[in-house]
Chain A
Amino acid sequence: MWINALRWVALILIALAGAYNLIGNDWRRIGFALTVEFGAIFILVSFDIPLSLALVKLLEGWMAIAILATSLSTLPLVSKQIFDYADHQRGEDDPLSPKLFRIFLAALITIALVINISFIHNLFLMINLVQTIAGLLLLGLGILMCSFRQSIYSTAIGLLTFMGGFETLFTALEPSVLLLGLLAGVDLAIASVCAWLIFIQSGAIE
């Protein structure tokens, strides 16, 4: 009973953090929301794999965020335009309509997910229903994050969210240590390369 309740809590955390990452503009808060997402992923996967391995997953996710955050915080140009849409001016008020549009699309994804969940769940009967919803929601939100904003930081956040969703599902299907290690390697590689790309783009390398 309490296990299922925990899963629901994780799902709600993922939905809230994912929604914030779609509309938020502060890179620190976006990083924090992703930290919360990885915490929720930890809760979900800890029922499928040993706690020590789930902890590795959590730490690896947080390390990826730390790599990105360290890179951004050391740059002279840490402003909105690093991660928001290209023509956004510093200090300009954020228009409401793009945020509403993003939330609307996220809601559409959620509705499509709820409608089709029985079909999808039939393909992966080994995974808990709530965990399936959480994993698929992360996949959908990750793709939305990658597609709405062109900046490297938002792409990195989107890709890490997408990978988090996939790991939530796949760890239940195949709890292999090597696989977990390789997926952790992918997350860290994405974070490191994106941090390096942000560094190059800022002009600091010149």
Chain B
Amino acid sequence: MNAPMIWIGIPAGLTIALLGVSRWKKLTIGIASLTSLILTGLGWLLPVGKLINIGNLTFEINPIWTILGRRFVLESADRPLVIFLNLALAFWFIGALECDVFTPFVPLAMGINALLIAANLVQPFYYGVILILIAMVLGVGMAATGSHRVGQGMIRLLAFQTLGMPILLLIGWMTSSLEINPTETAQLFSIRLLASVGIGLLLAVFPFHGWLGMISEESNPFLLSFLFFIIPFTTNIFVILFFRQSAWLSGSLWMIAYFRLSGFLMTTIGGLEAAFHRHVGKLMGYTIMVDIGIIQLVISLGFVTAETQAFLAILFPFFFGSMLSLGLLGLSSRILQEDSNQISLDSLAGAGARYPFSSIAIFVAFLSLAGFPLTAGFPAHLPIWQNLFLNFPLGGFSALVGSLGVLIGSVRALSVFMRVKTVVHWLGSETIYQRILLGIGILLLLVLGILPQLYFPFAFNLGLIFMGTR
């Protein structure tokens, strides 16, 4: 038995098995949630590459899995990644229990997760970009099936990701060959230029960000919230690993300037569009734009500071807050969408009376995504803002503009929800299970914001372990 087989092979196999039983929603979700939680627990408890003694039984989990001459390597330091991703899966699966979502979402999400974990573990590292593309293609299929329609945003996502993959694969090959033959300095300019375009396409950075807003309007918000968490998380981690493979690329002033510029543009444009939105789904898309921009700024600072590991590790608590907020946002938006079949602001006037828990959940989730004090997003946003203002004030200003835009957008949405003339029933129309889930989610976001010591050191240490070795 080896580690990649446990965290990639088992979920991949289960994806196919669960597709066969997906007509039974609760069974599928039950098996998938349990498996994800077990894989999270194993990631926490099972040491990789060390002898394990259980009674008379002694065995070792090998970190390497060789397929067709290439290796997938999952060492002890990579376990934070699998803990995080499997925890996120279980979180979304539990939400799917009480949400009108097509059941094959569950096995597909599991397959996408396995592919994205594999993408960060394969050797040579640049092969990972192919696995990311396959995961994205599956994601497009999932989004289209969930919403029963195909929009231009989905096609654009498919096209941009497919165009970006070969570029990154090529620069991966070029950087590897450059390390063997460092005298080929003529290639440096080409690599930097290609890297800027390839990363822009992969991470949906300006000017390739158009699909974020478009797909948000077209898709099922619950499925989209999952994709909006898992895609930025894994692709950004992949880009960090990609850059850390070659010292001259991560230290290149060109690339640092590129990350700063793209981060500045993404946070500013995302914030401005969020402030003037007319659709809750689109607000989610613009919020993700702001988040991607903040991550770009963090990466740009992480590569110039002396404490790279500690700086990049801050992304783990940042993503933890995003995970909780996006999960809650997706569930509550979907509950509203089930009622009026759309989530444009015009159609949601007075929704606060019919769906009070969902309306409050949407508002609190957006507050947390904006990094508002006393919500779970704030403890990770604060050190990022502080460091940005110290090292790159323009970036700090743009990050604040982005968060302010999301804040204005969420207040506008809340004011529309509260346009109530008569209150039918103070508990609204949600089912008891929906109220419990939404209530737990809202409480969690607030409690973790007030008591960040409950999650921040844990998530930050996971980040330190991961960034320290990779």
List chain A positions with a Cβ less than 8 A from chain B.
122-123, 139, 143, 146, 150, 152, 155, 158-159, 162-163, 166, 170, 173-174, 176-179, 181-183, 185-186, 189-190, 192-194, 196-197, 200-201, 205-206
Task: Please report the C-alpha to C-alpha distance between residue A182 and residue B173 in the assembled complex, in whole angstroms.
Answer: 16
Chain B positions 78-113 with a Cβ under 8 Å from a chain A Cβ: none
Task: Please report the C-alpha to C-alpha distance between residue A197 and residue B154 in the assembled complex, in whole angstroms.
Answer: 10
Tell me whether A178 and B187 are in contact (CB under 8 A).
Answer: no
Tell me whether B127 and A178 are in contact (CB under 8 A).
Answer: yes
Tell me whether B148 and A162 are in contact (CB under 8 A).
Answer: no
Q: A123-B190, A150-B155, A176-B68 are in contact. List 16 more A-B contacts (CB 8 A).
A: A122-B186, A155-B158, A159-B162, A162-B166, A178-B67, A178-B69, A178-B127, A182-B131, A186-B133, A189-B134, A193-B138, A196-B144, A197-B154, A200-B144, A200-B149, A201-B149
Dominant secondary structure at the B interface: helix
Give chain B residues whose Cβ lies under 8 Å from the Cβ of A152.
150, 155
Give chain B residues whose Cβ lies under 8 Å from the Cβ of A159.
158-159, 162
Task: Please report the C-alpha to C-alpha distance between residue A179 and residue B69 in the assembled complex, in whole angstroms.
Answer: 10
Task: Please report the C-alpha to C-alpha distance between residue A193 and residue B170 in the assembled complex, in whole angstroms.
Answer: 25
Given contacts A123-B187, A189-B134, contact A176 B145 (CB under 8 A): no
Give chain B residues whose Cβ lies under 8 Å from the Cβ of A193.
137-138, 140-141, 158
Give chain B residues whose Cβ lies under 8 Å from the Cβ of A163.
162, 166
Nearest A-chain residue to B166, judged by Cβ: A166
Nearest B-chain residue to A158, judged by Cβ: B159
Tell me whether B144 and A170 are in contact (CB under 8 A).
Answer: no
The 4 closest A-B pairs by CB, nearest first: A166-B166, A178-B68, A182-B130, A178-B70
Given contacts A190-B158, A197-B141, A206-B148, contact A162 B163 (CB under 8 A): yes
Interface assignment of B152: CB less than 8 Å from any CB of chain A: yes
Give chain B residues whose Cβ lies under 8 Å from the Cβ of A158.
159
Tell me whether A182 and B127 are in contact (CB under 8 A).
Answer: yes
Chain B positions 147-171 with a Cβ under 8 Å from a chain A Cβ: 148-150, 152, 154-155, 158-159, 162-163, 165-166, 169-170
* 25 sample A-B contacts, Cβ–Cβ < 8 Å, listed by A number: A146-B163, A159-B159, A162-B162, A162-B166, A166-B169, A166-B170, A170-B169, A170-B173, A174-B173, A176-B68, A176-B69, A178-B68, A178-B69, A181-B68, A182-B127, A182-B131, A190-B158, A190-B162, A192-B141, A193-B137, A193-B138, A193-B141, A196-B141, A197-B144, A206-B148
Tell me whether A201 and B163 are in contact (CB under 8 A).
Answer: no
Chain B positions 244-294 with a Cβ under 8 Å from a chain A Cβ: none
Task: Please report the C-alpha to C-alpha distance between residue A181 and residue B70 in the assembled complex, in whole angstroms.
Answer: 12
Give chain B residues whose Cβ lies under 8 Å from the Cβ of A162.
162-163, 166
Task: Please report the C-alpha to C-alpha distance between residue A190 and residue B166 in the assembled complex, in whole angstroms.
Answer: 14
Give chain B residues whose Cβ lies under 8 Å from the Cβ of A179.
127, 130
Distance to closest chain B CB from A173 (angstroms): 6
Dominant secondary structure at the A interface: helix
Tell me whether A177 and B145 are in contact (CB under 8 A).
Answer: no
Task: Please report the C-alpha to C-alpha distance between residue A166 and residue B171 in the assembled complex, in whole angstroms.
Answer: 13
Given contacts A189-B138, A200-B148, A206-B148, contact A173 B173 (CB under 8 A): yes
Give chain B residues whose Cβ lies under 8 Å from the Cβ of A189.
133-134, 137-138
Distance to closest chain A CB from B90 (angstroms): 26
Tell me whether A170 and B149 are in contact (CB under 8 A).
Answer: no
Task: Please report the C-alpha to C-alpha distance between residue A180 and residue B165 in the assembled complex, in whole angstroms.
Answer: 14
Give chain A residues whose Cβ lies under 8 Å from the Cβ of B187.
123
Tell me whether B166 and A170 are in contact (CB under 8 A).
Answer: yes
Task: Please report the C-alpha to C-alpha distance between residue A182 and residue B169 in the assembled complex, in whole angstroms.
Answer: 12
Distance to closest chain B CB from A122 (angstroms): 8
Distance to closest chain A CB from B73 (angstroms): 14
Task: Please report the C-alpha to C-alpha distance between residue A182 and residue B166 in the assembled complex, in whole angstroms.
Answer: 12
Distance to closest chain A CB from B179 (angstroms): 15
Distance to closest chain A CB from B108 (angstroms): 11
Given contacts A162-B162, A183-B130, contact A177 B149 (CB under 8 A): no
Which of the residues B67, B130, B140, B186 comes within 8 Å of A186, measured between beta carbons? B130
Contact mask B179-201 → A, CB, 8 Å, 1/0? 00000001100100000000000
Give chain B residues whose Cβ lies under 8 Å from the Cβ of A192.
141
Give chain A residues whose Cβ lies under 8 Å from the Cβ of B190.
123
Give chain A residues whose Cβ lies under 8 Å from the Cβ of B169.
166, 170
Contact mask B440-453 → A, CB, 8 Å, 1/0? 00000000000000
